[in-house]
Homo-oligomer: A and B are copies of this chain.
Amino acid sequence: MSELLQAQTTPTVAASLAAPAMKEFSEASHLDEVLGRLEATKDPRLKKVMSALTRHLFAFIEEIQPNEKEWMQGIQFLTETGKMCDDVRQEFILLSDVLGVSMLVDGINHRREANSTESSVVGPFYRAGAPHYPMGSSIANDTPGEPVHVSGRVKTTEGKPIAGALLDAWHTAPNGLYEVQDPDQPEYNLRGVFTTDLDGAYDFRTVKPVSYSIPDDGPVGKLLRAVGRHPWRPAHIHFIVSAPGYQPVVTQIFTDDDKYLTSDAVFGVKSSLAVPYNKVGPAWTCEYDFTLKPAKS
Which residue numbers of A lie inside 8 Å of B, CB to CB? 19-27, 30-31, 33-34, 37-43, 46-50, 52-54, 56-68, 70-71, 75, 78-83, 85, 90, 92-93, 96, 99-109, 118, 226-229, 259, 261-263, 267, 269-271, 274
Contact A64:B40 (CB < 8 A) given known A83-B85, A100-B30: no
Contact B38 A108 (CB under 8 A): no
Q: Which residues of B contact A96 (CB under 8 A)?
A: 71, 75
Enumerate chain B residues within 8 angstroms of A92, measured Cβ to Cβ: 75, 78-79, 82
User: How many of these chains are in the complex?
Assistant: 2
Question: A191 CB to closest chain B CB, in angstroms?
Answer: 22
A61 touching B105 in the complex, CB below 8 Å, given contacts A43-B226, A96-B75: yes
Known: A19-B261, A67-B109. A60 touches B50 (CB 8 A): no
Contact B75 A108 (CB under 8 A): no
Q: How far is the CB of A211 from chain B (nearest CB, A)?
A: 13
Least Cβ distance of A187 to chain B in Å? 26
A42 and B228 contact, CB distance less than 8 A = yes
B82 touches A19 (CB 8 A): no
A228 — nearest CB in chain B belongs to which residue?
A: B40
Asked whether A22 lies within 8 Å of B262 as measured between CB atoms, the reply is yes
Question: Whole-angstrom distance from the CB of A114 to the nearest CB of chain B?
Answer: 15
B65→A30 contact, CB < 8 A = no
Residue of B nearest to A84 (CB): B82
Contact B229 A22 (CB under 8 A): no
Whether A63 pairs with B56 at a CB distance below 8 angstroms is yes
With CB as the reference atom, state the residue of chain B lying closest to A227: B41
The distance in angstroms between the C-alpha atoms of A58 and B60, with both chains bound, is 11
**Whole-angstrom distance from the CB of A269 to the nearest CB of chain B?**
6
Interface centre among A25, A41, A61, A65 (most CB of B within 10 A): A25
Kindly identify which residue among B22, B59, B100 contacts A54, using a CB–CB cutoff of 8 Å. B100
A50 near B108 with CB under 8 A, answer: no
Find A53's partner among B60, B81, B106, B263 (CB 8 Å cutoff): B60
Which B residues are CB-close (under 8 A) to A64?
48-49, 52
